[in-house]
Amino acid sequence: MLPELAREELSAALDTVVMELLAEATVAGPPVDAFRVARRLGIAVAEDDRQRGRARYVRLAGHRGRAAAPTILLRPEPRRERKHWAVAHEIGEHAALRVFKLLAVDPREALPGARETVANHVAGRLLLPTEWFVADAIACDWNLLELKSRYTSASHELIARRMLECGPSVIVSIYDHGRLYFRRSNLPGRVPPPSSAELQCWQTVHDRNHPEQTYEGLRTIQGWPVHEEDWRREILRTEVEEW
Task: Write the single-letter amino acid at 127.
Answer: L
Q: Is residue 96 part of a domain?
A: yes
Beta strands in 61-131 (DSSP E): 69-74
| CATH of residue 48 | 1.10.10.2910
Asked whether residue 122 is domain-assigned, the answer is: yes
What residues contact residue 141 under an 8 Å CB cut-off, 6+ apart? none
Residue 110 lies in a domain: yes
119 within domain boundaries:
yes
Domain that holds residue 118: 1-128
Phi, psi of 238, rounded to the nearest 5 degrees: -120, 120
Mean pLDDT per segment of 10 residues, for the chain of length 243 residues? Answer: 68 96 96 94 77 64 61 78 92 91 81 83 97 97 98 97 92 97 94 96 97 92 95 95 71
Please give the full DSSP string across 160-199, using - where no structure is assigned. HHHHHHHSSSEEEEEEETTEEEEEEESSSSPPPPPPHHHH
DSSP states along 191-202:
PPPPPHHHHHHH
Is there a domain that residue 217 lies in?
no
Q: What b/e sequence results for 104-121 when a residue is b if at least 16 CB atoms lie within 10 Å of its CB, and e otherwise?
A: ebeeeebeeebbebbbbb
pLDDT tens column, 166-187: 879 999 999 999 999 999 999 9
Residue 211 lies in a domain: no
Q: How many Å apart are CA 99 and CA 224, to the nearest integer?
A: 35
Residue 217 confidence (pLDDT): 87
| Number of structural domains the chain divides into | 1
